[in-house]
Structure 1
């Protein structure tokens, strides 16, 4: 039997290779975080105040915005603090909490995008049955199941990782408590089994949601192509544009993190790839939904801008 010294805290060294850029990163990420927070809260407030937006699509959009806020709160605040601090240590319990509170809204986000794809499928392919299939009770259940799914995945992944034994080095080569760098610090015979199990759970959840979205859009496209007028086709597709754009961004960056090939990776490369999903994706989501959704833009202008500039309406 080998004698291991158990790790009680970790050191996050994700930005240590950019010592001269840390202040610039801090200012950039702070501005992006504040914009993400403001954008998502503005979407939630607009939907809450504007009765014309009390529809299933905007209910799901509110839930999506809330999951974005919780995800960025779990990751970016700690990252900003570490960029200004010389002590980047994080306790064992805090590391586990960060992983859980980032994985839960992160996978809830994927489930909600799938639900929104189903909503668009019903609206376009079965418009006469829309009010029945997407009743208020049914929509509430879909949101609840999405959050429950994120909770289960978060608990499974976090419990599996933090039941491992960590020994030797306590330096996490990342800016947060992420699965791959933590697995490199674990020791014991069960590490490979846990790594394979966690990988299967994450990839199955992402790919499962992705395949359901692709299937939804296959039916949507087939239905749109049968619409005789060009104006009708454009109007039908425009209702899906913002959701489809966010799906492409979300899964594009997620695939970089979860589906990248195994092999030697530099700390700089891992950090920069992680930033794209952790900071850039939440930053782009409210922009895409606000700019590509005419109804939401009009409601924002009516609800907020009219109070500041009454003559603008």
Structure 2
């Protein structure tokens, strides 16, 4: 017969194993998709005409490689953390220096992935806002604040790993998620606004391409992907669960169902933070962006939108077909 204390230990150990394995399954699946997306980006982006690494397509390729590298390290450390935690639990030593070290490094790798992803979506919105300096500067300011808080969060967590106080509400845990959510909300709204402007312009000039009407569902789906609407929903979901679980000793923190949902939400957000920027880069460089006239062709400094707008007006007045693409 086992005592009540031993039963609680076994239940806690089983729950921990369940969380670790489930998180690892989600992360592994996401890593496979991220690796595939990175290969597509590498094959799609042509650097033959690139003069320096400061060109947009070179920076986008670099961002993809950074995401893949950090994600690779993250999943290796997560697997090592799960193995160490299970082994330590069996041996009766639930916390070890190796576990703390893998946790600390994972925090920094995850923060890097999130910041690179936020940079990519801000870059996309920045390109679309070529004539809206106010929103450009506002977006840049929000991104700078986001960078500062997301760097401060893992730095603050490291010394608190070994001496975390009961009942302490770590504001940075949810504030870092909130800042990233605000940046993505702003960028998503601006991209959606530009998409609507593009749609109205296309309808007004009667250049809604043949077959576009029958593929409207596909257009909407691509817009949801590029604008980050789905990613934003996952991020807000993670923010809600993170806020509830940040109160140590609260009702939410003790509820097994809520803790499970919080773990799933956090894992999905971490995975989507790596996949979303890759999806944007692929959409742009394969000419599948629903906001096509905003794409920068080659190394030109003039967006295609200006050329396309002229061609659309020319075509609408009976001057021939558009040749922008």
Assess, with a 3 A threshold, how the Cα gap between structure 1 residues 222 and 12 changes in structure 2: closer, same or farther: farther
Confirm or deny that 1:256 pairs with 2:256. Answer: no
| Structure 1 partner of 2:125 | 121
Confirm or deny that 1:63 pairs with 2:63. Answer: no
Query: Hey, what's the Cα distance between the residues in 2 that align with 1:12 and 1:115?
Result: 44
Confirm or deny that 1:98 pairs with 2:102. Answer: yes
1:100–1:158 contact (8 Å) kept in structure 2: yes
1:290–1:297 contact (8 Å) kept in structure 2: no
| Structure 2 partner of 1:229 | 202
Gaps of 5+ in 1: 1-10, 134-141, 165-181, 185-191, 300-313
Confirm or deny that 1:246 pairs with 2:220. Answer: no
Assess, with a 3 A threshold, how the Cα gap between structure 1 residues 41 and 14 changes in structure 2: closer, same or farther: farther
| Structure 2 partner of 1:201 | 172
Assess, with a 3 A threshold, how the Cα gap between structure 1 residues 70 and 296 changes in structure 2: closer, same or farther: farther
Q: CA deviation at 1:222?
A: 3.0
Q: CA RMSD of the aligned region, Å?
A: 4.7
Query: Hey, what's the Cα distance between the residues in 2 that align with 1:276 and 1:80?
Result: 19
Confirm or deny that 1:111 pairs with 2:115. Answer: yes
| Structure 2 partner of 1:38 | 32
Alignment of 1:99-178 (within 5 A): 99-126=103-130, 151-162=151-162, 164=163
Higher strand proportion (structure 1 or 2): 1
Query: Hey, what's the Cα distance between the residues in 2 that align with 1:118 and 1:239?
Result: 16
Assess, with a 3 A threshold, how the Cα gap between structure 1 residues 296 and 218 changes in structure 2: closer, same or farther: closer
Range with bigger deviation, 233-242 or 69-78: 233-242
Confirm or deny that 1:218 pairs with 2:207. Answer: no
1:224–1:237 contact (8 Å) kept in structure 2: no
- The 3-state SS of whatever aligns with 1:89 is coil
- The 3-state SS of whatever aligns with 2:14 is coil
- The 3-state SS of whatever aligns with 1:16 is helix
- Taking structure 1 as the reference length, the TM-score comes to 0.57
Gaps of 5+ in 2: 1-8, 48-56, 138-142, 288-325
Q: Deviations over 1:159-181 (max 9, x none)?
A: 1343x3xxxxxxxxxxxxxxxxx
- Taking structure 2 as the reference length, the TM-score comes to 0.55
Query: Hey, what's the Cα distance between the residues in 2 that align with 1:122 and 1:296?
Result: 14
2:120–2:277 contact (8 Å) kept in structure 1: no
Q: CA deviation at 1:284?
A: 5.5
| Structure 1 partner of 2:294 | none
Query: Hey, what's the Cα distance between the residues in 2 that align with 1:12 and 1:255?
Result: 30
Q: Deviations over 1:141-200 (max 9, x none)?
A: x99x95x875543122211343x3xxxxxxxxxxxxxxxxx543xxxxxxx6xx34xx22
- The 3-state SS of whatever aligns with 1:250 is helix
| Structure 1 partner of 2:4 | none
Q: CA deviation at 1:291?
A: 7.6
Q: CA deviation at 1:123?
A: 1.9
1:68–1:109 contact (8 Å) kept in structure 2: yes
- The 3-state SS of whatever aligns with 2:35 is helix
Assess, with a 3 A threshold, how the Cα gap between structure 1 residues 211 and 281 changes in structure 2: closer, same or farther: closer
| Paired residue total | 245
Q: Deviations over 1:94-142 (max 9, x none)?
A: 243133122212333332332122112112221899xxx9xxxxxxxx9
